[in-house]
Amino acid sequence: MKRNIFVFLMCSVSSVLLLTPAEAHHGWGGYKERVEGAFTITEVKLGNPHDRLIATDGQGREWNLLLAPPARNRRFGFNEDSISVGDIIDILGQRHPERLEMKVHCINKDGANLYTYRYDNGRTSLERQRNNQSC
């Protein structure tokens, strides 16, 4: 009898785990709509799995701005000294289809490039898309 209860419980737990959606890397496939504009930084969240900035646009909407993973950003010079709450930045990115969230390709501040999304090999996200535009 105890064995039957154990088998039943294990099957129940396994079923729940298999049917529960897992949080996996989101990928960038759905981020299609191009966004350019000025944003004001309200929060800086540097850490895994991606560095993030929370910012508002000119209409007061709050955006989740996704950057590259922290180790890669640090290797290419972007860190906690690069940006601050209150900074006004110009963004080039691609919007998530359902949320106020975007993959950020470029951040410019005061006319100078502050950040470029780079992959491990140093190529930019725009180069990887075979996009002729640069930051």
Q: What is the mean pLDDT of residues 23-34?
A: 74
Is residue 103 a part of any domain in this protein?
yes
Is residue 124 a part of any domain in this protein?
yes
Is residue 134 a part of any domain in this protein?
no
**Mean pLDDT estimate for the chain:** 84
- The enclosing domain of 43 has a CATH number of 2.40.50.140
With a CB cutoff of 8 Å and minimum separation 6, the contacts of 84 are: 41, 44
pLDDT of residue 21: 39
Condensed to tens digits (0 to 9), the pLDDT of residues 34-59 reads 999 999 999 999 999 999 999 999 99
Is residue 12 a part of any domain in this protein?
no
57: containing domain: 31-128
Bigger pLDDT: 128 or 27? 128
Q: How many structural domains is the chain composed of?
A: 1
Stated pTM of the model: 0.77
Is residue 133 a part of any domain in this protein?
no
Given a cut of 80, whether residue 88 has pLDDT beyond it is: yes
Is residue 98 a part of any domain in this protein?
yes
With a CB cutoff of 8 Å and minimum separation 6, the contacts of 28 are: 94, 103
Is residue 1 a part of any domain in this protein?
no
